[in-house]
């Protein structure tokens, strides 16, 4: 059974969904829409997100499962390969997964990512570096990219 929990962060209310020992949803919401049922895993996910937002963490150490097509999974793997502090265009991702010309489909797949930050879809930008498309709001995407440009405050063992 999937459970959801809600946590306050610097960027708003974080929704964490968990099932079968894995995080299934990690996203910001305007307000909670389900019963708040925190688990040790959802608490840990929230802790890691807060560390990330403070500049103390660059990546997440969470069991994650994301339901989607093989194309979406290819896009999500490519998004995970974008290093912290860097961006790639939707077109670059399309080429990387062997689907040149599929930039719009890449954008759609990024928009279906259920575990924001763990699959860093905010690092994907439009042609010429334009901030386009982020289900959490472009203002959050901008904040996340700004955060990743700052010097890293975390311990070297937290990657």
Residue 78 within a domain = yes
Provide the domain count of the chain: 1
Asked whether residue 152 carries a pLDDT value surpassing 80, the answer given is no
The boundaries of the domain holding residue 103 are 70-134
pTM: 0.90
Q: How far apart are the first and last CA of the chain?
A: 30
Average pLDDT of the residues of the chain: 93
What is the helix (H) or strand (E) element at residue 84, kind and residue range? Answer: none
Q: Is position 80 annotated as part of the catalytic site?
A: no
- Of the residues 18, 80, 121, 124, which is catalytic? 121
Residue 154 within a domain = no
What are the pLDDT digits (tens) for 65-95?
A: 999 999 999 999 999 999 999 999 999 999 9
- For residue 146, CA distances in Å to 33, 47, 53 come to 29, 20, 11
What are the pLDDT digits (tens) for 91-141?
A: 999 999 999 999 999 999 999 999 999 999 999 999 988 888 888 999 999
Residue 74 within a domain = yes
Residue 63 within a domain = no
Residue 8 within a domain = no
Q: Which two tokens stand for residue 54?
A: 């403070």
Residue 150 within a domain = no
Asked whether residue 157 carries a pLDDT value surpassing 80, the answer given is no
| Euclidean distance between CA atoms 75 and 84, whole angstroms | 17
Asked whether residue 154 carries a pLDDT value surpassing 70, the answer given is no
The CATH number of residue 107's host domain is: 1.10.10.10
Asked whether residue 159 carries a pLDDT value surpassing 70, the answer given is no
């Amino acid at each position: 059974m999937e459970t959801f929990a809600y946590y306050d962060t610097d960027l708003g209310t974080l929704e964490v969904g968990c099932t079968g020992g894995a995080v299934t949803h990690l996203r910001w919401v305007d307000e909670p829409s389900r019963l708040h049922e925190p688990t040790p895993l959802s608490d840990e996910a929230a802790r890691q997100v807060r560390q990330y937002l403070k500049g103390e963490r660059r990546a997440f150490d969470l069991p994650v499962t994301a339901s989607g097509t093989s194309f979406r999974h290819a896009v999500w793997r490519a998004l995970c390969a974008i290093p912290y502090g860097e961006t790639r265009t939707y077109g670059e991702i399309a080429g990387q997964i062997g689907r040149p010309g599929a930039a719009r489909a890449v954008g759609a797949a990024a928009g279906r990512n259920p575990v924001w930050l763990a699959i860093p879809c905010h690092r994907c930008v439009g042609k010429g570096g334009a901030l386009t498309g982020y289900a959490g709001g472009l203002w959050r995407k901008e904040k996340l990219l700004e955060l990743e440009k700052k010097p890293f405050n975390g311990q070297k063992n937290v990657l």
